């Protein structure tokens, strides 16, 4: 055990003191935040410029129902415009209507491909025109309909509260819960790839440099593999802890950009929550939004999420890193060979991410349930469900199966590692590696 501890210490300290570790730890959260804000900024700046569209063959009721001007499209009715001369006339496109009112398909010829947003806007305006025509045929004017719609929408609001085990109610934010679950699942998905590949590269380097031959003369192969896995796993936990601290520090620093008046209003809402529902209260929308976010964050079971995250991070890491170590032990410096052997390992990880991203809005369906039970996908999928508060027996069963799973994969990988770490000049297959694993000692 002392030898295993020495290997863990060596792997941990050699990586934590590395400049790459420090840079990735402290720069990655900042880069991610900048990436998110940059994406939002460029998305807002990349909206289509206003389009000038000529409309031809008006059946008689379109012109009066299409808005003459908008932020996206300007419609001009001009029968002299054709698909041959619209560019020289200064139009971005020409929309050909159908004289047959039963046909709802139209042709738009444009100078450049229009964006889906602009196309959807034009379709909405045409649908509005057809709706207004049908209303007029039934004796209802568009003004009457707009008045009814204006006076009957925007008043209904549903607050979803969850009943606790002791009968108390907890206010929840489904969108925030889904966001936290997805972020936790994707973070485990990424770290399993990163740290699993780190274990594999470490084993490959030691084998290529013949360091492994020296180490196995005084340390058992299983101790060497276990020490490397636990040492790199400790590096991962350290990095995650520092990321959490840095993110909370950045979130605390974000309060400096909120005005003192808004913060004062948030404090008033905390002292008197009823003000949030009072439209006449002198409280800004920004203060109400901050208060709602704080209330939603407090209602989230953070302790449960953090404990489960640490367990599934380390459990998933142990489950897969031992298999990555087994691959590293049978290959030397041939990256292509390593990639071909990695495919059966990486496919379940990718499949777990697909299950999570495809079923996030239905965390209790059968795909999410079985994905959170099977050890190959449970570290990713269960973290996607954990914020939606699944039954404790499901969480306990998932944890138990994951423990059984990583004990099995560690045993399997150790037997492959023991043979592969001292083998050179041969390219084994998975079939041959499994023979090593189940061969009687």
Q: What is the pLDDT along the chain (441 residues), one digit of tens a residue?
A: 677 788 788 878 888 887 777 777 777 767 766 765 665 566 555 455 677 888 887 777 677 666 655 667 888 888 888 878 888 888 888 888 776 666 667 788 887 777 777 788 888 888 877 777 777 777 776 677 666 666 555 545 555 555 555 555 555 556 666 777 778 888 888 888 888 888 888 777 777 777 766 676 677 777 777 888 888 888 888 887 887 787 777 767 666 666 677 767 667 666 666 665 655 456 666 666 666 666 666 667 778 888 888 899 888 888 888 888 888 878 766 667 777 778 888 888 889 888 888 887 777 888 889 999 999 999 988 988 887 778 889 999 999 999 999 888 888 888 887 777 777 667 777 777 777 777 765
| Other CB atoms within 10 A of residue 225 CB | 28
CA distance 284 to 127: 37
pLDDT of residue 401: 94
3-state helix, strand, coil in the chain (%, to 5): 65, 5, 30
> Which pTM value belongs to this model?
0.65
Note whether 253 and 260 are within 8 A (CB): no
* Burial group, residue 76, by CB count within 10 angstroms (0-12, 13-18, 19+): middle
pLDDT of residue 150: 61
Q: In degrees rounded to 5, what are phi and psi of residue 94?
A: -130, 130
CA distance 119 to 434: 56
Bridge partners of 169? 163
pLDDT of residue 370: 92
Q: In degrees rounded to 5, what are phi and psi of residue 198?
A: -65, -40
């Amino acid at each position: 055990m002392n030898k295993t501890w020495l290997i863990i210490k060596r792997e941990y300290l050699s990586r934590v003191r590395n400049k790459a570790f420090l840079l990735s730890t402290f720069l990655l959260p900042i880069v991610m935040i900048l990436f998110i804000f940059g994406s939002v900024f460029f998305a807002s700046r990349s909206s289509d410029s206003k389009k000038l569209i000529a409309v031809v063959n008006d059946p008689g009721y379109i012109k009066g129902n299409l808005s003459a001007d908008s932020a996206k499209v300007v419609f001009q009715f001009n029968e002299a415009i054709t698909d041959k001369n619209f560019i020289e006339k200064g139009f971005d496109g020409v929309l050909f209507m159908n004289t047959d009112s039963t046909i709802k398909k139209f042709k738009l010829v444009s100078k450049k491909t229009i964006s889906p947003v602009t196309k959807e806007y034009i379709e909405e305006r045409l649908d509005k025109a057809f709706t207004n025509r049908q209303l007029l045929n039934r004796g209802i004017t568009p003004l009457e309909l707009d008045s009814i719609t204006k006076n009957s929408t925007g008043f209904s609001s549903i607050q979803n509260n969850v009943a606790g085990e002791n009968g108390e109610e907890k206010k929840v934010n489904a969108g925030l819960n889904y966001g936290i679950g997805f972020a936790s699942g994707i973070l485990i998905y990424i770290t399993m790839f990163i740290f699993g590949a780190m274990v594999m590269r470490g084993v490959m380097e030691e084998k290529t440099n013949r360091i492994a031959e020296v180490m196995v003369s005084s340390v058992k192969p299983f101790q060497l593999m276990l020490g490397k896995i636990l040492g790199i796993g400790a590096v991962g936990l350290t990095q995650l802890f520092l990321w959490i601290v840095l993110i909370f520090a950045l979130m605390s620093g974000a309060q400096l950009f909120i005005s003192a008046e808004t913060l004062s209003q948030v404090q008033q809402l905390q002292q008197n929550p009823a003000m949030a529902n009072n439209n006449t209260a002198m409280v800004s929308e920004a203060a109400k939004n901050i208060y709602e976010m704080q209330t939603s964050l407090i209602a989230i079971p953070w302790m449960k999420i953090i404990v489960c995250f640490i367990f599934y991070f380390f459990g998933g890491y142990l489950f897969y890193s031992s298999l990555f170590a087994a691959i590293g032990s049978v290959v030397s410096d041939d990256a292509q060979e390593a990639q071909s052997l990695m495919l059966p390992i990486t496919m379940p990880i990718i499949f777990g991410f697909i299950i999570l991203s495809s079923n996030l809005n239905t965390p209790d369906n059968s795909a999410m349930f079985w994905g959170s039970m099977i050890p190959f996908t449970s570290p990713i999928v269960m973290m996607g469900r954990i914020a939606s508060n699944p039954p404790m027996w499901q969480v306990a069963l998932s944890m138990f199966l994951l423990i059984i799973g990583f004990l099995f994969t560690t045993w399997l990988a150790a037997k492959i590692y023991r043979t592969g770490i001292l083998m050179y000049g041969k390219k084994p297959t998975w079939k041959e590696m499994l023979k090593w694993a189940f061969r009687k000692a």
